[in-house]
Structure 1
Amino acid sequence: MTRAESLAQARRVIHRIVAERHDRPSLVPRIASEIGAEIVEGHIPPGHDLNTVDLARRYQTSRTPVREALLLLDREGLVDLPPRRRPTAHVHTIQDVREAYTTRTVIFELIATEVAERAGEREIAMLEQVLTYMRQAVERGDPTAFTWLSVHFHEIETRISGNRTAKRIHDSLLLRMLAIRRLAIAQPGRLAQSMEDHVQLVKAYSGGQAHLAGAIMRASHIASREAIELYHENGGALVAPSAP
C-alpha cells in the first residue's frame, strides 16, 4: 500500500468516527480528518506545532472551524491543547500505550465473546472475505495494508456484537492507537502471527466458541503490547512506520 493510499484510509476512518460522534458543520469533520490523518501517518510529526493561522489559510476558512477541528482531535487523543500554548500533534508515551492496550484488551475480549454468540453464516462470510485480503497482504509483505484490513475486520466485529457502548470505546481507542497498531504489526514475526490469530478467531466464531474467541483476542493484544514494549526498550520511537 502506498503512502497516498494509507493516508486516504486514515482520513476515511477518522472522518467516520468524528462525524458519528460529534455534531458539527461538515467542514469541521473534514478538517479534523485531514489533520488527524497526517498525524497518524507521520506527515505531521509528534510534538509539531499546529498553527491555526496557517491551517485556516490552507483550508481557506476562518480560524473558528480550525479550532473546533483541533478540539475534536484533542478529545480523540490525536492533538494536545496545552493552556496558553499552541496546539501540538500528540506525543505517545509508553505509559499511554500500555494503558490503551490494557483497556483495548478488555473491550475486545468482550466483543469477541459477543461475536461468537451472535455471528451467523452471513457474518462469518464477511469476516472470511476480509481474511482473504489479509492473506494477500501477508504474501506481499505489506504490513500497512494488513493493518488497515485489520481495522476493517474489527469494525465488522463491533457491528456484529451489537454492543454500542463497547463500539464507542473501541472507536476512541482506535484513533488513539492507529499509529501504534501499524508499529506493532511491523515488528519481527508479528505480521504472520497476527494473521494466524485472525484465522483462529474466525474459526472460534464459526464454532460459537465464545470463551476461546475471547482468549485468542486477549493473547493477541498482549503479544502486540509486549512487541511494542520490547521495541521501545531498544530505543525505538513510538511513531507509525512510513508506507512505501
Structure 2
Amino acid sequence: MTDDQDTHLVLERLLRLRDRREPLVAQIAEWVGAGIIEGRLEPGQDLNSVELSRRFDTSRTPVREALMLLEQEGLVEMKARRRPRVAAPSLQDIRDIYQVRRQLLAMLASLLVERATDAELAELRGRVERMRKVADSGDVDGYFWAHVQLQERMTEVVGNATLKQILDSLALRTLMLRHLSLTRAGRLAYSIDDQERLLQACEERDGELASALIAGATVRALRAVEEQLEQDAARNRKPVRKRGAAAS
C-alpha cells in the first residue's frame, strides 16, 4: 500500500468523507487536509477560496463546504470578514492535547497487552518491520502515514469503542503535530526504535512497561514539536503564540 492510499484511507475515515454526497467536497477537503497535516499549508496561512476554486475547477460553494468541514475538526479557522486560514493552536493548547493523548495511549498499550492474540501481535510486528525500512530510507511522509495506520490497527485490536472514539476526536488535531515532530533531525530513528521496543513489551506481555514506553514516546514527540515551534518562531522573529493572545 502506498502512502497516498494510506493518506486517503485515514482522512476518508476521520472526516467521514464516505458520508458526503458531493464527491468534489470530499476531494477538496482531503487535499487541503493532507496539505495541512504534511506541512505544505502552514499554520496561520490564508486559504484563498478563489484559488482553490480554480484548482478544482468549481464554484466557491464546494470549497466553502470543504473548509467548513475542516473547521469542525480543528484544522481550519473561519472568521467573519476574514479569509479562512490554517488553524494555529497555541503552545498551551498543544501541551494540553499531548497530556490527554499520553494518558489515552498508555491505556491503549495496556489493553493491547491484555487483549491482543499472538497472531495479531505478529501482524503488528510485520507492520513495524516494514516501517523500519521506510524510516531507514528517510521517507518522512511514508513513515508518518504507516505509523498512523499502525496505531489505528492497535485500536481495532483492542476493541474498546469508547477509547477509539475519544482518540478519533483528537486525531485530526494531532496529525499535523505528529508529522511536525517527525521532521526534526533524528526523529525517524527514535520513533521506529520506540515502536520496536513497544512491540517487544507487548510480546512479552508486560503491560506496565508497554504503557510507560508509549507514554515516554509521546513526551518525546511533544518536545520535538516544542523545539520546532521555537525554531520557527526565532526564524520569523516573533514569539510562540500563547493561548488567547493574538499572533504578533
Q: Same fold (TM over 0.5)?
A: yes
Aligned positions, number: 233
Residue 141 (structure 2) aligns with: 144
Residue 107 (structure 2) aligns with: 110
Is 2:74–2:173's contact at 8 Å kept on the other side of the alignment? yes
Residue 199 (structure 1) aligns with: 196
Is 1:78–1:90's contact at 8 Å kept on the other side of the alignment? yes
Residue 242 (structure 1) aligns with: none
Deviation, 1:235, is 4.3
Is 1:7–1:41's contact at 8 Å kept on the other side of the alignment? no
Structure 2, gaps ≥5 residues long: 236-248
In 1, Cα distance between the equivalents of 2:122 and 2:160?
20
In 1, Cα distance between the equivalents of 2:36 and 2:97?
18
In 2, Cα distance between the equivalents of 1:143 and 1:56?
30
Q: Provide the TM-score with structure 1 as the length reference.
A: 0.83
Is 2:201–2:210's contact at 8 Å kept on the other side of the alignment? yes
Structure 1, gaps ≥5 residues long: 239-244
AA aligned to 1:25 is R
Instruction: Encode CA deviations 1:22-80: one digit per residue, 9 max, x unaligned.
Output: 84314232221112112223333332322334434443444333222211101111111
Alignment CA distance shift 1:33-1:204 (3 Å): same
AA aligned to 1:156 is R
Q: Indicate yes or no: 2:21 matched with 1:25.
A: yes
Higher mean C-alpha deviation, range 228-237 or range 43-52: 228-237
What is the RMSD of the two structures over their aligned residues, measured on CA atoms? 2.5
Q: Percentage identity across aligned positions?
A: 38
AA aligned to 1:33 is E
Alignment CA distance shift 1:187-1:35 (3 Å): closer
Alignment CA distance shift 1:55-1:190 (3 Å): closer
Q: Indicate yes or no: 2:70 matched with 1:46.
A: no
Q: Indicate yes or no: 2:88 matched with 1:91.
A: yes
Instruction: Encode CA deviations 1:78-111: one digit per residue, 9 max, x unaligned.
Output: 1111233221112243223212211211111111
Is 1:11–1:34's contact at 8 Å kept on the other side of the alignment? no
Residue 170 (structure 2) aligns with: 173
AA aligned to 1:96 is D
In 1, Cα distance between the equivalents of 2:50 and 2:230?
38
Is 1:11–1:36's contact at 8 Å kept on the other side of the alignment? no
AA aligned to 1:59 is F
AA aligned to 2:155 is T
Residue 224 (structure 2) aligns with: 227
The 3-state SS of whatever aligns with 2:15 is helix
AA aligned to 2:114 is E
Is 2:44–2:86's contact at 8 Å kept on the other side of the alignment? yes
Instruction: Encode CA deviations 1:111-153: one digit per residue, 9 max, x unaligned.
Output: 1111111100221121111111111123223333222221111
In 1, Cα distance between the equivalents of 2:179 and 2:46?
23
Alignment CA distance shift 1:181-1:162 (3 Å): same
Is 2:10–2:149's contact at 8 Å kept on the other side of the alignment? no
Alignment CA distance shift 1:44-1:231 (3 Å): closer
Higher mean C-alpha deviation, range 191-200 or range 152-161: 191-200
Alignment CA distance shift 1:48-1:183 (3 Å): closer
Is 1:7–1:37's contact at 8 Å kept on the other side of the alignment? no
1:161 to 145, 158, 163: 158
Residue 243 (structure 2) aligns with: none
Is 1:39–1:78's contact at 8 Å kept on the other side of the alignment? yes
1:209 to 206, 222, 231: 206
